[in-house]
């Protein structure tokens, strides 16, 4: 059974209140419940961490290397600014999927660049809470394929 870490970055604790026209009306707890349900369907364990602090996210990525087989990450604004998070993902060599609720390429120019994208297996954005579900499914499919190749 795979174990997946879901990391939520800064300001995602405000979902449901924060700019619902962009981020929707679901809360972070709502999204986590949807992910728990999907994880059960997929037969995987799932853990969550939300932090507004870059170092806490980096520490969680480091710890994930011995606890989990993959990461789903919405680094929020750190996507566009954090070389530290990018380097942490590259350092642990765990498959990771970057997700975003909004389509970052249809937003402000500064959001069009992701420091994280080059070190993850894929990026999903613009589908609201479904971005997380699609990211989880894609990661589990990837891990399953890796497992069958390494038999």
Q: How many CB atoms lie within 10 A of CB 52?
A: 16
Is residue 105 part of the annotated active site? The answer reads no
Q: What is the C-alpha separation between 61 and 73, in angstroms, rounded? A: 10
Out of 23, 68, 78, 115, the active site residue is 23
Catalytic residue among 8, 68, 78, 100: 100
The CA-CA-CA angle for residues 106, 109, 114, to 5°, reads 85
DSSP 43: T
**CA atoms within 13 Å, Cβ hemisphere of 142:** 18
| 23 assigned to active site | yes
Per the CB < 8 A criterion, the answer to whether 134 and 109 are in contact is no
The residues annotated with a catalytic role in the active site are 23, 100
């Amino acid at each position: 059974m795979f174990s997946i870490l879901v990391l939520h970055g800064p300001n995602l604790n405000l979902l449901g209140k924060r700019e619902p026209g962009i981020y929707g009306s679901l809360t972070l707890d709502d999204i986590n419940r949807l992910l728990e349900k999907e994880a059960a369907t997929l037969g995987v364990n799932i853990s969550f961490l939300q932090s507004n602090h870059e170092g806490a996210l980096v520490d969680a990525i480091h710890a994930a290397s011995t606890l989990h087989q993959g990461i789903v990450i919405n680094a929020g604004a750190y996507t566009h600014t954090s070389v530290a998070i990018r380097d942490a993902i590259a350092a642990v060599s765990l498959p990771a999927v970057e997700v975003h609720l909004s389509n970052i390429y249809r937003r402000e120019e500064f959001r069009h660049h992701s420091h994280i994208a080059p070190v993850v297996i894929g990026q999903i954005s613009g589908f609201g809470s479904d971005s997380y579900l699609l990211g989880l499914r894609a990661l589990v499919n990837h891990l399953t394929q890796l497992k069958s190749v390494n038999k």
